[in-house]
Amino acid sequence: MNFFMGISLVIGGFITLFWWRESIAAIFRRIPLPVFLLYVFSATPFIFIEESINCIDHGDGSGCTITPWIIGVLLVEVAILGLVVRKMKVASIVWPMVMFSILGAVWELLFGGLRGVGGPFLLFMFAYVMISYAFLVVVPLTILLGSKGSAATAQS
């Protein structure tokens, strides 16, 4: 997949997920799991989709492949976000999603794919990585915070 197609898919996908988050969350809510487990479980397909788009070519001749341990790291990060959101009794997905996105981009800058990127391209990629991280949690946060985004339903 080329660079511009991947960017278009993630940004367009995020906009679509944000627009339809309640409807998509309603589909996941049909699964009979406790809310927190459903929250983490629901992040899994979005992680796989995002990692499939933003996969890494390791130079081993296999092309672009998903790195399995990254899936685990992202699931742990999503779980930690969920614990923080529940502890703080957040009422809206906006601030947790923005903070997760910023922290995710900083993580990538320090330890991940943005290491060594500089100049104006870094500004673009930092913003793009923020959108990639938001892509992962827009629907799961909607599930965790309930259909109206109220903190009261997140406690169930």
User: Could you read off the pLDDT of 3-51 as tens digits, one per residue?
Assistant: 788 899 999 999 999 999 999 999 999 999 999 999 999 999 999 999 8
pTM of the model: 0.86
**Of the candidates 147, 50, 152, 149, the residue with the CA atom closest to the CA atom of residue 108:** 50
Q: In this structure, are residues 14 and 137 in contact, taking their beta carbons and an 8 Å threshold?
A: no
User: Could you read off the pLDDT of 45-98 as tens digits, one per residue?
Assistant: 999 999 888 876 655 656 677 778 889 999 999 999 999 999 998 889 999 999
For residue 86, what are the contacts with CB-CB under 8 A and spacing of at least 6?
36, 144, 154, 155
Looking at residue 50, its amino acid is E
> Strand, helix or coil at 105?
helix
Q: In this structure, are residues 144 and 82 in contact, taking their beta carbons and an 8 Å threshold?
A: yes
Is it the case that residue 150 has pLDDT exceeding 50?
no
pLDDT at 1: 60
Work out the pLDDT band at 119, boundaries 50, 70, 90.
confident
pLDDT at 58: 57
As a whole number of angstroms, the distance between CA 132 and CA 47 comes to 9
pLDDT at 68: 82
pLDDT at 115: 86
